[in-house]
Amino acid sequence: MAAQNFNEQTLINQSFDGQNLNGSTFVKTKFEGGSLVNTRLRGTDFSEAELLGVNATGANFQPNNNFPTTSFAKAKLENSNFTNANFQNVQFSDGVESVEIIGGNLTGANLRGANLSGSKIEGVTIGNNTRFILANLSGAELTGIDSTGNPSFQGANLTGVIAEGSDLSGANFTAFNGTATNFTDAQLKGADLSGSNFTGVSVPGISLEEVNLSDANLTDANFSGANLSKANLSNGTFIDGADADTVGTDFSGASLVEANGVGGDFTNASFVNADLSKADFTGANFTGVDLTGAILTDTILPVSTITGTAGADLLIGTGLPDTIDGLAGNDTLRGLGANDNLLGGNGADRLEGGDGNDSLDGGAGRDNLLGGEGNDLLFGGAGIDTLNGGEGNNILDGGDGSDTIIGSFGTLNAENEIIIGSADLFTGATSVDTIQGFVFEQDAFALFEDPNPTGFEILPEELQVVGVGSNAVIQWDNPLTPAETFQDIAIVVGASVADVEASLPV
């Protein structure tokens, strides 16, 4: 069929199914309720036309050498069906005004290389390989989009695109034949990008606030400086790919405040100077993650569990919250960064908390506990132990045995450290703790109920302090001995009687 001129006509419920209308013109045509199923429409001009409720399933609009330009500039496509239609290299914009696509279906449509700059696409269904590959969507508004899965935006120009709240789930945003997808100034707040592919995509500074990236693949992607506040990253993949000299996803300087990273794989990802406040990474894989300078206020990090053997183990933690259990043997446990839980178990163990607010429990045996930085809890357990709180506001409990309890390298730097001497309440107890580094008005003593079967509890009125040389000795009137028979329970090195008395509980 020769090219037809339908300019400025009104076509109601007309069918051109399967016909050859290549080169035809529909300028300012109102086409309502008609059908263009599998129609050949190469090189057609629909400028300023209205297609209302038209079924154009499988229609071919792709220009070729004989029909070099297909245009929908200023056209309005409303509630029309373009399932599997071919729009490759079609012009939807004249550089000044663009198309409006309201409602309808673009499922499986091919818009590769199409110019949709400045277009308004609202309430449209895409998916099942709808292809925007290399398309120009700069400045386009994608509102109320509903994805049925797997649309492709590979190599597309998304500069300034507005897709807030739209469903782009399962989309592919990777480069196409070396052409990267451009997200400059894109606005995607609240968009659904679940299951999308961002492998190798570079989007520094992008705003993805409240975006759903669950199950997304961000392998080797660059999100440095991005705003991912309240984003959902659960079960996503953010790892280091196979290429050399790369890290995983780059979140350096990014904001992930209240982000959901539950179950995500962040292997080798960089969070350098990122804000992870109140983010939840429960169950995530943080192997090789760099948290240098990261803000971790109220952040839930994945817990790393390291278990030793019955022998003498050297167990070193990570920058994450670690639980390290030495079991039996003379072990060395080092927590490094984050809030760690170190369990010495049986044997003469050395426990080093490192940075963070750590809990160290020596267990049975002659143990050496060093809290390090942070506010630490040190429990000597059974045996003759040495407890050194290090920096921070620490609680030190020697437990059973004649222990040495050290404040903070002898200098507490105005930090309020609670030092707990061992009560040793079992019958016939003779253990005496040595407390070093005590500073008046900075340190305090606390008393706890006896955990042993005797059930005795030290009461403040049962204590007295005496001077022995340059030291103060805390004594206890043990109810198992004759009245007024005091036994030594702690030696406070270099302290005055008055200072220790004033620091006892009342």
pLDDT value at residue 454: 46
Q: Which letter does DSSP use for residue 311 in this model?
A: S
pLDDT value at residue 447: 64
Name the pairing type of β-strands 395-397 and 443-445. Answer: unpaired
Tally of residues, the chain:
506
pLDDT value at residue 208: 87
pLDDT value at residue 419: 59
- For the chain, list residues with pLDDT below 50: 242-246, 409-416, 421-429, 449-455
pLDDT value at residue 127: 84
Number of helices followed by number of strands (H, E) in the chain: 1, 27
Pick left, alpha or beta for residue 467 (phi over 0 → left; psi -120 to 50 → alpha; otherwise beta).
beta
Name the pTM for this structure.
0.65
Which backbone phi and psi does 369 adopt, to 5 degrees? -115, 130
Strand order in the sheet with 100-102: 10-12, 30-32, 50-52, 76-78, 100-102, 120-122, 141-143
Pick left, alpha or beta for residue 334 (phi over 0 → left; psi -120 to 50 → alpha; otherwise beta).
beta
Query: Could you give the CA distance from residue 162 to residue 124 in angstroms, rounded to a whole number?
Result: 15
Residue 245: which residues within 8 A CB-CB, separation 6 or more? Answer: none
What stretches of 400-462 adopt beta strand conformation (E)? Answer: 404-406, 417-420, 433-436, 443-445
Beta bridge partners of 275: 255, 295
Maximum distance among all alpha carbons in the chain? 121
Closest CA to 156 of 125, 170, 130, 135: 135
Closest CA to 97 of 72, 65, 63, 66: 72
Query: Could you give the CA distance from residue 77 to residue 454 in angstroms, rounded to a whole number?
Result: 86
Q: Hey, how many other C-beta atoms are within 10 angstroms of the C-beta on 271?
A: 28
Query: Could you give the CA distance from residue 39 to residue 264 in angstroms, rounded to a whole number?
Result: 47
| Sequence-ordered alpha helix ranges (H) in 365-467 | none
Residue spans in the chain of domains classed CATH 2.160.20: 1-192
Q: Indicate the helix (H) or strand (E) that contains 352.
A: strand 350-352
Q: Indicate the helix (H) or strand (E) that contains 147.
A: strand 146-147
Query: Could you give the CA distance from residue 390 to residue 409 in angstroms, rounded to a whole number?
Result: 6
| Sequence-ordered alpha helix ranges (H) in 104-204 | none
Q: Hey, how many other C-beta atoms are within 10 angstroms of the C-beta on 165?
A: 16
- Arch. (CATH architecture) of 1-192: 3 Solenoid (2.160)
Closest CA to 61 of 175, 155, 77, 148: 77
Pick left, alpha or beta for residue 113 (phi over 0 → left; psi -120 to 50 → alpha; otherwise beta).
left
C-alpha R_g of the chain: 36
pLDDT value at residue 219: 83
Say which amino acid occupies 188. L
Query: Could you give the CA distance from residue 478 to residue 101 in angstroms, rounded to a whole number?
Result: 88
